Amino acid sequence: MSSTVTDATTAPEGTAARPVRRGSGPTLRTRAGRIGPHVVLLAYTAVACVPILLVVMNSFKSRSAIFSSPFSMPTPESFSLAGYETVFARARFELYFFNSFTVTIVSVFLVLLFGAMAAFALAEYDFRGNALLGLYLAIGIMIPIRLGTVSILQLLVGMNLINSLFGLILVYTAMGLPLAVLVLTLFFRQVPKELKEAARVDGASEYWVFRMVIPLVRPGLAAIAVFSMLPIWNDLWFPLILAPGEHVRTVTLGAQLFLGQFVSDWNAVLAVLTLAMLPMMALYIIFSKQFMQGLTSGAIK
């Protein structure tokens, strides 16, 4: 693959510096043991990141530079924003971003709210049918919601929610709930009993108790937010089928349609790809620590 070119030059430089600094202490074997992981990890990091870098880099170059020297950074001579100009002239990406943000944020909020409420009830009260209801809600983790698309489409047509952000939000909320309920139930079970009982003795209502324990399951909420956000933002299937209209188009669908239409305009294609991936990537890199914590704590559950 293309990336081996770059990692062949960066890997030895990055790792060779360390043993020299440490002097002649470690034996050859331990030194190899120390460098080995870095070589492999750097190589794979290149495999993961070079394709993305290639796209971002070339989106700022002129058409001739894209083809003549794809691996070089944009220089003052080759710099060009032609692609971005085409994109903003031909498509309303600022609107698509607004739509994607609205759908993702509202859906994740509803998943967290409804999921936490149901999980609290399942973890807190033993009523008849508790285990059965938990199982009923958990089935959806394994069964993809897409299989019901034929009926979802009919249902939303009947509710007059085709080409509406609200329709998408309802579907995504249903999609995210099963995992949220299961994981949050486990988190709510860990909240100490004494705390809730003390509040009840003081005359707190059940709603107040719920409000009080919410901050204690924050890691669980973060994990679920992380888990449910990406599939919603990145989904193509439901926007394509339920909300293809221009005014409700999401970034993913907008990019897909634009790319299909302008496939031979390389500047525009590279610019759209860069535009569509940068917001989520920036968000991810900024919050990567919280993201990984949420992911691992959710996964271990």
Partner 1 sequence: MSQDTGLEPHESDGSAAAARRDHRPARRRFPTHLIVFLLPAVAVYTMFMVYPLLDSMRLSMFGDVDGVRAFVGLDNFVRLLTDDLLSALFWNAVVQNLLFFAVHFFVQNPIGLLLATLLASPTLRGRATYRTMIFIPTTLSVVIVGFIWQLILSPLWGIVETPLLGRSSTALVTLAMMSVWQYVGIPMILFYAVIISIPEDLIEAARVDGASGWNIFWRIKFPLLLPTVGMVSVVTYVANMNAFDLIYTVKGALAGPDFSTDIMGTLFFRTFFGFQLQRGSSTMGATVATMMFLVILAGILLYFFGWHRRVQTYEL
The footprint of partner 1 on residues 10-49 (CB under 8 A) is: 34, 37-38, 40-41, 44-45, 47-49
Residue number, 76 or 260, with CB nearest to partner 1: 260
Find the shortest distance in angstroms from Cβ 296 to partner 1.
4
Which C-beta is closer to partner 1: that of 39 or that of 81? 39
- Compute the least distance from the CB of residue 101 to partner 1, in Å: 14
Spatial contact of 180 and 112, defined as CB atoms under 8 Å apart = yes
The site for partner 1, by CB under 8 A, has a size of 102
What CA–CA distance (Å, rounded) separates 118 from 173?
A: 13
- Could you tell me where the DSSP H helices lie in 125-217? 130-142, 149-158, 165-189, 193-201, 206-213
What are the residues whose beta carbons fall under 8 Å from the beta carbon of 210, sequence distance 6 or more? 116, 117, 120
Query: Is residue 181 within 8 Å of residue 119, measured between CB atoms?
Result: yes
Task: Compute the least distance from the CB of residue 56 to partner 1, in Å.
Answer: 10
- Please identify which residue in 17, 32, 131, 198 interacts with partner 1, judged by CB under 8 A: 131
Residue 251 CB neighbour total at 10 angstroms: 26
By beta-carbon proximity to partner 1, the closer residue of 89 and 128 is 128
Residue range at the interface with partner 1 (CB under 8 A); choices 74-82, 84-92, 216-224, 291-299: 291-299
What's the CA gap between 277 and 74, in Å, rounded? 19
CB of 299 to partner 1, least distance (A): 5
243-262 residues in contact with partner 1 (CB under 8 A) are: 251-252, 255-256, 259
SS3 content of the chain, % helix, strand, coil (to 5): 80, 0, 20
Residues 160-219 that bind partner 1 (CB under 8 A): 170-171, 173-175, 177-178, 181-182, 186, 189, 193, 197, 200, 205-207, 210
Cβ atoms within 10 Å of 228's Cβ, excluding its own: 24
Site for partner 1 in 60-79 (CB under 8 A): 66-67, 70
The full DSSP string for 39-81 is: HHHHHHHHHHHHHHHHHHHHTTB-HHHHHH-TTSPP-TTTB--
> Based on CB atoms, which residue is closest to partner 1, 52 or 95?
52
* Window 95-124: residues binding partner 1 (CB under 8 A): 110, 113-115, 117-118, 120-123
